[in-house]
Structure 1
Amino acid sequence: MNQASNFNLREEIKEYWSMRAATFDEQPGHEIFSEAERSAWHTLFERHFGKGDGRKALDLASGTGVISHLMHDLGFNVTGMDWSEAMLEKARAKSRERGSKITFLLGDAESTLEADNSYDVIVTRHLVWTLVDPATAFAEWFRVLKPGGKLLVVDGDFVSPTWATKFNKAMAGFLETLGLRKPVEAIAQMQTHQDILARVHFSNGARAEDVASMLRQTGFDPIAVDFDLKRIHSAQKKHISFAKGLERGAQHRYAICAQKPLEA
């Protein structure tokens, strides 16, 4: 991918997520819709990071500040970074409303401009699968982390079709033939999403083993892959359709905790 197309793709991604900002918090899997889900996220973060105790945390692609607030709950000194001003506006408004002391910065996750060795932990949710240049991003995160600091990547392969995807598609087609369901017309937002997805690095799906391998090549060690996200998914399923719940449960979702060596 040449530099010009790289730049154009980044701008398209930025514009796409800015467009999504208005309704981002309305969707389960984005905002938190129950105390059960909030508790499940806290458990995941504590399992890999421990308590905050005032340590500095960077939430990359922070969006409307959902993960930033979960980390703030645990006592971290949180900075959220996103390159969509529309997302940041909502995040700052939410922070004012809740009285949380979170700093939100406009910035690029692949080039944060933050100082070397400045954060104790970094967290990302559903960012890696959208990265244009993950190798550059991982090197940047390694640089920004303090020696001994930890990165937690919460992500998944949202591209590869699963049995649930195929089942839902077949059922939708069957119901349409019976006249019990109207065909879904392609909308501009969906077309934009597919066009962008076809050109990012993990266009065929961000598998845990591939992401972990790239993190290892960057210098992170040790690296642990955690597939125990059942409590989060169970809480989310109560707020989505049965079909969507089946599909989400069948997807390859994971958390990867990677540490910057103490001697780095």
Structure 2
Amino acid sequence: MNDEKIKQEIANAWNQESNFYDSHVSHGMKSDEEKKLWMEAFSTRVKNDTQLQVLDVGCGTGAMGLIFAEMGHTVEGIDLSEGMMDVGRKKAADMHLAMNFSSGDAEHPPFDDGKFDVVVNRHLLWTLPNPDKAISSWFRVLKPNGTLLVIDGVWDDGSRLNTVKKKISHKIASLVEAHPHGGKSRYSEEVSSYLPNKGGTSEEKAKEYFENAGFTNITVVNLDAITDEQRKYFSWYMKIAPKSTYYLISGKKPEST
């Protein structure tokens, strides 16, 4: 299966999910407190006293990019899914925030070298066929001393107990929700076989990607405060599923490369 066909199936899957994606907790922002926690997490890793050029790569409906826009930065978002971006464009208009959404492949962002101060993405590494190449591309489009911020986690650790808990939670969701999330894979088995991180990305693997791409000053922090805030909005059957590992990893592009 060639790269173009893989990416087309991925785009189609997210187009189908776009109209209800933000309804799921951990996707759309459910509280002002959650937004505040994200802003605090980002402010400790990037300067917030000057306007930055930010790329939200694999932006979807713009959850992370719109936070940066609200913080006063200039934000460009790219994604394969026009459906997801259409939702993001409406959100930006409703919130009176300037964020530009355009079609683009996260593994090959269509920008010149050294354009951005910050590259950010959330829940993206698992759905990339070539995450190592993607991170090298993000390194390329960053300015010297620019920052890469990746929010990720491990959704399926493969343990028997956690697998059973997830199946129970997803089964109940499939019975009571019009658009349950996470129960059935949104990709075909063939496409899934090309995704090296389809169960999530460990901190150790993410660090390896960063180091291989040339990033320095790599730090990882857990996002327990954010997941605890999100869980306040979980239905009772969602709480059956185990709490996933969730983290923010950041790295700097050296001044000279």
Tell me the TM-score normalised to structure 1 length. Answer: 0.86
1:199 CA drift (Å): 2.7
In structure 1, what is the equivalent of residue 217 of structure 2?
222
Q: Rate the CA distance shift 1:262–1:15 in 2: closer, same or farther, 3 A.
A: same
In structure 1, what is the equivalent of residue 206 of structure 2?
211
Which deviates the most, 63-72 or 197-206? 197-206
Question: What are the Cα deviations for residues 220-239 of structure 1, in whole angstroms up to 9, with x where unaligned?
Answer: 11211111x12211111111
Q: Is the 8 A contact 2:155 2:199 kept in 1?
A: no
Structure 2 unaligned regions, length at least 5: none
In structure 2, what is the equivalent of residue 111 of structure 1?
108
In structure 2, what is the equivalent of residue 245 of structure 1?
239
In structure 2, what is the equivalent of residue 178 of structure 1?
none
Q: Is the 8 A contact 2:123 2:152 kept in 1?
A: yes
Question: What are the Cα deviations for residues 167-226 of structure 1, in whole angstroms up to 9, with x where unaligned?
Answer: 4546999x9xxxxx9799xx9x92433634343021354111011112101111121111
Structure 1 unaligned regions, length at least 5: 176-180
Q: Is the 8 A contact 2:60 2:88 kept in 1?
A: yes
Give the letter for the 1:221 counterpart.
T
Which deviates the most, 144-153 or 16-25? 16-25
Given candidates 246, 250, 253, the residue that maps to 1:260 is 253
Q: Is the 8 A contact 2:153 2:245 kept in 1?
A: yes
Question: RMSD of aligned C-alpha atoms?
Answer: 2.6
Question: What are the Cα deviations for residues 66-112 of structure 1, in whole angstroms up to 9, with x where unaligned?
Answer: 11111112121111111111111111122122211111111111111
In structure 2, what is the equivalent of residue 65 of structure 1?
62
Aligned residues: 250
In structure 1, what is the equivalent of residue 139 of structure 2?
142
Which has a greater percent of helix? Answer: 1
Q: 1:34-45 counterparts in 2 under 5 A? A: 34-45=31-42
> Greater Rg, structure 1 or structure 2?
1
Given candidates 180, 186, 193, the residue that maps to 2:187 is 193
CA distance in 2, matches of 1:20, 1:172: 17
Counterpart secondary structure, 2:43: helix
Counterpart secondary structure, 1:190: coil
